[in-house]
């Protein structure tokens, strides 16, 4: 009886060893193929012709987008581009929430700016009427481009919010008024620039070092903290729906 038990255990052990070796072989092949694919990808871009590059269809030029919803969506895409540290694996095999995630300064600043400028574009009926295949004359494109640049030439989120808040459709809506206050609060608490210069909101995107010139001491920024990503993403997503709702109602009145 003991011999039979030992024989069964030995067979199971051998099967486990074989299965493990098979998995190792499969992983090695996958890794080899992935490495080969990566090298081919690098070689492709390292050996492009000198005149290669993106091209437009004949007769087309790229200009400013004036469809507000496109600005809103692009802002949402950036706000969704979080930096995450691990995710929870659920028992059913699906991926759960992040263990920790946040938006670095440059991502939040650009995403919020584009979203807010989309809100500003909505106040112009001419822009609200722009659809996917609409044509806008050069003089009108130039006009709105100048206007958007003048909202804040230094990319100051608080200044941009100051231009969006007075828009009547927004000032009458409690949810949107609260959204603008929250974004201003987040900006002040976590993303307010500490860089000195003419365009601190733009300059803050670059790596920085801190200096005490009187004592000639410097130090890297190694303790920067940012808020959790998920409530920011939810805030912008819910407000996007609300913006579309209030302007749809405004157009139907």
Question: From the CB of residue 228, how many other CB atoms can be counted at a distance below 10 Å?
Answer: 13
pLDDT at 91: 66
Distance CA 180, CA 164 (A): 8
Distance CA 117, CA 112 (A): 9
Residue 13 to residues 1, 107, 112, 238, Cα–Cα distance (Å)? 19, 52, 58, 55
pLDDT at 207: 85
Tokens at 148, concatenated: 């958007």
Tokens at 51, concatenated: 């005149």
pTM above 0.75, yes or no: yes
| Low pLDDT (below 50) residues in the chain | 1-3, 5
Return phi, psi of residue 204, to 5°: -65, -15
Distance CA 75, CA 159 (A): 17
pLDDT at 59: 85
E-assigned strand segments in 63-155: 83-84, 87-89, 95-98, 101-102
pLDDT at 11: 58
Distance CA 76, CA 81 (A): 9
Distance CA 81, CA 239 (A): 18
Is residue 98 classed exposed, middle or buried when 0-12, 13-18 and 19+ CB atoms within 10 A define those classes? middle
Distance CA 155, CA 137 (A): 26
């Amino acid at each position: 009886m003991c011999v039979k038990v030992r024989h069964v255990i030995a067979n199971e052990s051998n099967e486990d060893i074989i299965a493990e070796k098979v998995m190792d072989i499969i992983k090695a092949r996958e890794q080899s193929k992935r490495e080969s694919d990566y090298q081919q990808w690098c070689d492709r871009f390292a050996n492009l012709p000198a005149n290669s590059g993106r091209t437009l269809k004949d007769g087309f030029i790229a200009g400013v987008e004036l469809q507000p919803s496109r600005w809103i969506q692009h802002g949402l895409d950036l706000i969704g581009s979080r930096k995450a540290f691990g995710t929870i694996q659920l028992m059913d095999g699906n991926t759960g929430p992040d263990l920790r995630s946040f938006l670095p300064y440059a991502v939040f600043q650009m995403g919020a700016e584009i979203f807010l400028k989309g809100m500003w574009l909505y106040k112009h009926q001419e822009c609200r009427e722009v659809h996917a295949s609409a044509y806008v004359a050069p003089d009108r494109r130039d006009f709105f481009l100048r206007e958007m640049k003048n909202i804040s030439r230094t990319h100051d989120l608080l200044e941009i919010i100051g231009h969006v808040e007075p828009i009547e459709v927004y000032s009458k809506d409690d949810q949107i008024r609260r959204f603008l206050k929250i974004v201003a609060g987040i900006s002040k608490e976590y993303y307010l620039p500490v860089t000195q210069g003419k365009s601190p909101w733009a300059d803050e995107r670059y790596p920085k070092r801190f200096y005490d010139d009187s004592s000639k001491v410097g130090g890297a920024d190694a303790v920067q903290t940012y808020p959790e990503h998920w409530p920011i993403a939810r805030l912008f997503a819910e407000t996007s729906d609300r913006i579309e709702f209030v302007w749809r109602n405004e157009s139907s009145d």
